[in-house]
Amino acid sequence: MGSLIKSGGVSGAILSRIATNDQHGENSEYFDGWKAYDKDPFHLSRNPHGIIQMGLAENQLCLDLIKDWIKENPKASVCTPEGVYQFSDIANFQDYHGLKEFRQAIANFMGKARGGRVTFDPERIVMSGGATGANETIMFCLADPGDVFLVPSPYYAAFDRDLRWRTGVEIVPVHCSSSNNFKLTVEAVEWAYKKAVQSNKNVKGLLFTNPSNPLGTILDKDTLKNLVRFVTRNNIHLVVDEIYAATVFAGENFASVAEVVKDLDSSEVNVDLIHIVYSLSKDMGLPGFRVGIVYSYNDSVVSCARKMSSFGLVSSQTQFMLASMLSDDSFVDNFLMESSKRLGIRHGVFTLGLKKADINCLISTAGLFVWMDLRHLLRVRNSFESEIELWHIIIDKVKLNVSPGSSFQCTEPGWFRVCFANMDDDTLHVALRRIQDFVSKNSNKTAEKASDNDQLIQNNNAKKQKWKQSNLRLSFRRLYEDGLSSPGIMSPHSPLLRT
């Protein structure tokens, strides 16, 4: 720190490095989309030409079910006449173990969200300030400053803040690529691990989100098993963020790491290394209520995380309400089924609409977003600069706020995460129409010119496709040359909070 500071004269009052560095990640240029949206937010009737927010991974599809339940169950609130007799006890309750009924209800919900294939022990359920708080807490428990966690990319942008900022932990990405549909393989993890160890890094574990953000894909059970075996062999931790567990579309299978722990023999899995992060922000669409969970099979970690939960307990008012709601089996069963169904339908409508505009997405079976392939629209192939340029066009001309792949540390330019569950059907259709209109408008314009030169093209469907695409790129080039808005100052809101 140096003697300058010790003199107490010059820099005694300066802030900490954490407060003044950029490690919270909120100074990046990705905020342009947010800024544009904030200035001109879409509204079906009041501002139909505004920017549609598709950068927000919220689940707004089933809030009606929850709202109805709350209306029908006034006793679940400590503020209503029916429930106020509990007010003083609940308002006074700050035990960091959390309300027993709350933990039981959460364990119940988590089990049902996994098809009843596993059960969770309420005694291992530890509260945190959302999954944001849970991820930071688990890092504080498992790693010291300078230690490394391997995280497959592309990954949730805010991990840079949540895992690293105040903890001093380092992230080493395990890059996944489109060559195998961004699937995480044990080989890739092994390679990244060896490389890190060889560079004298102290690797404490592997962390990933499953189902994946931003991909929306689910890791197959065999790979998950092999990863569990891998971490056990190398004595490093495995943290699986299962925040999207119940966003799995109807009919699809999700294998939680909890299932793998149950299935594997004790010689193959050291349960002290396995930890799950969870939250109700995505599955239930309640990010405002700040319900994060750390679930660990390691007793010391449970104990430590519980003490740390003092820094981010769930409001007892919220615990009480959810304890009641999530122990209502008929509500939970219906909710999970409806949610799965609605998400699957919404996903289908959206991807079909995109196909009409010749836009493909990575095949996914979960999540609140699609991983859209716009590589063919990059002005310069494989260029992140082009990705950002394309992104600005999408914001300014197509008027959609989407998230560029580079914000998720994706190594291949041209991929975008586009959210579909944070709006109503009408808005989704407006978004799709805009995409389709834009694509066809730019193809038609160039078609008028091209027909004089090449009539053959119009008769051949396959060639038409290719031509459309290349002209699309041409039309984007025209837009590039028209001059785009350059990155300005950042939005006052934190999109990292909302991704």
Partner 1 sequence: MKQLSTKVTSNAHGQDSSYFLGWEEYEKNPYDEIKNPNGIIQMGLAENQLCFDLIETWLAKNPDAAGLKKDGQSIFKELALFQDYHGLPEFKKALAEFMEEIRGNRVTFDPRKIVLAAGSTSANETLMFCLAEPGDAFLLPTPYYPGFDRDLKWRTGAEIVPIHCSSSNGFQITESALQQAYQQAQKLDLNVKGILVTNPSNPLGTMLTRRELNLLVDFITSKNIHLISDEIYSGTVFGFEQFVSVMDVLKDKKLEDSEVSKRVHVVYSLSKDLGLPGFRVGAIYSNDEMVVSAATKMSSFGLVSSQTQYLLSALLSDKKFTGTYLNENKKRLKIRQRQLVSGLEAAGVTCLKSNAGLFCWVDMRHLLDTNTFEAELELWKKIVYEVKLNISPGSSCHCTEPGWFRVCFANMSEETLDLAMKRLKEYVESTDSNRLISKSSHERIKSLRKRTVSNWVFRVSWTDRVPDER
Q: Segment 147-166, which members bind partner 1 (CB under 8 A)? A: 147, 161-162, 166
**Nearest Cα to Cα of residue 263 among 255, 253, 272:** 255
The single residue among 52, 105, 141, 261 that binds partner 1, judged by CB under 8 A, is 141
For residue 264 the two structure tokens come to: 């594997």
Q: What is the bridge-based pairing of β-strands 170-175 and 148-153?
A: parallel
- Asked if residue 346 lies in contact with residue 419, where contact means CB atoms within 8 angstroms, the answer is no
Residues 80-109 that bind partner 1 (CB under 8 A): 80-81, 84, 87-88, 90-97
Which amino acid type is present at position 216?
A: G
Catalytic residue among 282, 283, 373, 388: 282
CA separation for the pair 377, 375 (Å, rounded): 5
> Binding to partner 1 by residue 358, rule CB under 8 A?
no
CA separation for the pair 316, 306 (Å, rounded): 16
**Site size with partner 1, rule: CB under 8 A:** 89
> Binding to partner 1 by residue 460, rule CB under 8 A?
no
> Binding to partner 1 by residue 299, rule CB under 8 A?
no
* Interface pattern 22-41 for partner 1 (x via CB under 8 A): --x-x---------------
* Interface pattern 204-233 for partner 1 (x via CB under 8 A): ------------------------------
Place of tokens 């930890």: 275
How open is the CA angle 118-120-123, to the nearest 5 degrees? 165
For partner 1, give the closer residue by CB, 90 or 261: 90
CA separation for the pair 462, 361 (Å, rounded): 20
Q: Has 241 been annotated as catalytic?
A: yes
For partner 1, give the closer residue by CB, 58 or 412: 58
> Binding to partner 1 by residue 9, rule CB under 8 A?
yes
Minimum CB–partner distance for residue 421 and partner 1 (Å): 12
- Asked if residue 423 lies in contact with residue 55, where contact means CB atoms within 8 angstroms, the answer is no
- Asked if residue 214 lies in contact with residue 408, where contact means CB atoms within 8 angstroms, the answer is yes
> Binding to partner 1 by residue 136, rule CB under 8 A?
yes
What beta strand segments (E) does 387-490 contain?
Answer: 400-401, 403-404, 415-419
CA separation for the pair 68, 156 (Å, rounded): 32
Catalytic residue among 32, 160, 162, 241: 241
Q: Which stretch binds partner 1 (CB under 8 A): 15-23, 364-372, 445-453, 476-484?
A: 15-23
Q: Has 147 been annotated as catalytic?
A: no
For residue 459 the two structure tokens come to: 């008769």
Minimum CB–partner distance for residue 481 and partner 1 (Å): 38
Q: Which stretch binds partner 1 (CB under 8 A): 57-65, 212-220, 221-229, 437-445?
A: 57-65
Catalytic residue among 90, 106, 236, 243: 243
* Beta carbons within 10 angstroms of residue 112's beta carbon: 17
Q: Has 156 been annotated as catalytic?
A: yes
CA separation for the pair 8, 25 (Å, rounded): 30
Residues 176-205 that bind partner 1 (CB under 8 A): 202
Minimum CB–partner distance for residue 173 and partner 1 (Å): 22
> Binding to partner 1 by residue 334, rule CB under 8 A?
no
> Binding to partner 1 by residue 404, rule CB under 8 A?
no
Q: What DSSP string runs through 223-238?
A: HHHHHHHHHHHHT-EE
Crossing angle for the helix pair 221-234 and 186-198, to the nearest 10 degrees: 20
Torsional sign, CA 27, 29, 34, 37? positive
For partner 1, give the closer residue by CB, 167 or 475: 167
- Asked if residue 148 lies in contact with residue 201, where contact means CB atoms within 8 angstroms, the answer is yes
Residues 257-286 that bind partner 1 (CB under 8 A): 272-273, 281, 285-286
Instruction: Return the bridge partners of 237, or none.
Output: 205
Minimum CB–partner distance for residue 301 and partner 1 (Å): 7
Residues 405-434 that bind partner 1 (CB under 8 A): none
> Binding to partner 1 by residue 363, rule CB under 8 A?
no
Instruction: Return the bridge partners of 415, or none.
Output: 373
For partner 1, give the closer residue by CB, 2 or 483: 2
> Binding to partner 1 by residue 66, rule CB under 8 A?
yes
The single residue among 61, 227, 240, 321 that binds partner 1, judged by CB under 8 A, is 321
Active site residues: 156, 241, 243, 282
